[in-house]
Amino acid sequence: MGESGSHSLERVPGALDDVVVVDFTRVLAGPLATMLLADYGATVIKIERPGGGDDTRSWGPPHDEAGDATYFQAVNRNKRSLALDLGRDDDLELARDLAAGADVVVENFRPGVMSRFALDHPSLAAANPPLVYCSITGFGRGEGARMPAYDLLLQALGGLMSITGEADSEPQKVGVALVDVIAGLFATTGILAALRHRDATGEGQLVEVDLLSSLLAALVNQASGYTAGGSVPRRMGNAHPSIAPYELLATASGDLVVAVGNDRQFGALCQVLECPEVASDPRFATNDVRVRNRDELRSLLEGRLAAAPASDWLGPLLEAGVPAGEVNDIAGAFALAERLGLDPIVELDDDERTVRLPRNPVRLSDTPARHDAPPPRIGELAPEEALDLVARARSRGRPDHHR
């Protein structure tokens, strides 16, 4: 069902095959960023505290057949785990040695923690000027430094919950830790941009990402509606603030998602529902008036859709070019991707287990993402092996100004 691999030191060549990442992150945003770098070929050494390791190793259920927390597995493939107690002088010295040989350091501790260990950007950059250092925080390093950065809290404080849920319901969180995911993706793009600059100039830099700013940027049209238009968005359930019909509609049996993005599609929808006159009705003829009259339109459409179950409407709507579908659960979503030939699941093997995880969605024609190794066991990497990994990766090549 995909690719398999092991923790062998032999790597599939990738776009970041000569990049060494020392990963001081835990939970979600930071580990997602470092996993993506690992997928693209980077050598990622994950630093974990002895014993418990990353917090998410204990976040379950669910667990897989081997008893491992699936939360941890989601964002830690292709890495190696080194257990270090930064409160011990010898472990701290090893961490600094690894950072001195790294291309990238990523951390998401509370502001000030890395400074206490002299693992902050100024300390490490002094010994390793080409270093790209990425720091992920919840609310920045100013007045928000002391604020706890849990995704639920970010969704609330950052406005996402205020636009999620039905208009007459309580605010709702999104069903996944979306703010962490968004911040991890922004961190990855920042790191890659900094590496591009480093390779061109020999100069490293500090990359800072905070979860609140990441969420505000990811609110896109909802944010610009406020910043550029002065409109504060509100909860609208499954409806869209700027497009109609673009929501979940009831049928004789089951709900149907209809996502009409232009007047042509609306005309096709009306043809399928055998009410072509609605497409030219002054209340509904263009998108802007449909948005203003969305309640009337919804009532009219659901009246027509009540003639048949959702499954009966799908074929004619799709054939007419109307974006429509039913609501899948997670199993149904993966089954759809399988049917479409997208190969959404990869199997990662080592000597003890097979872990099935979602595939990296980016397809690169010449340097494909690798899915070589399942998430590591705590402390599987010996200190001398970690140093050797850094040396091996660095030997695979650097621009002249890094030698």
**Residues taking part in catalysis:** 180
For the record, the structure tokens of 154 come out as: 């970010």
Please answer whether residues 101 and 131 qualify as being in contact, where contact means their C-beta atoms are separated by less than 8 angstroms: no
Handedness of CA 81, 354, 42, 385 (dihedral sign): positive
Please answer whether residues 191 and 134 qualify as being in contact, where contact means their C-beta atoms are separated by less than 8 angstroms: yes
Q: Kindly report the number of other CB atoms within 10 A of residue 138's CB atom.
A: 25
Instruction: Give the CA radius of gyration of the chain.
Output: 25
* 279 Cβ neighbours under 8 A, 6+ residues apart: 263, 266, 267, 270, 271, 285
Q: Calculate the CA 34 to chain-centre distance.
A: 11
As beta bridge partners, residue 107 has 24, 135
The residue with tokens 């007047």 is: 263
- Tell me which residue of 53, 50, 184, 41 sits closest to 103, measured CA to CA: 41
Interatomic CA distance for residues 240 and 234, integer angstroms: 11
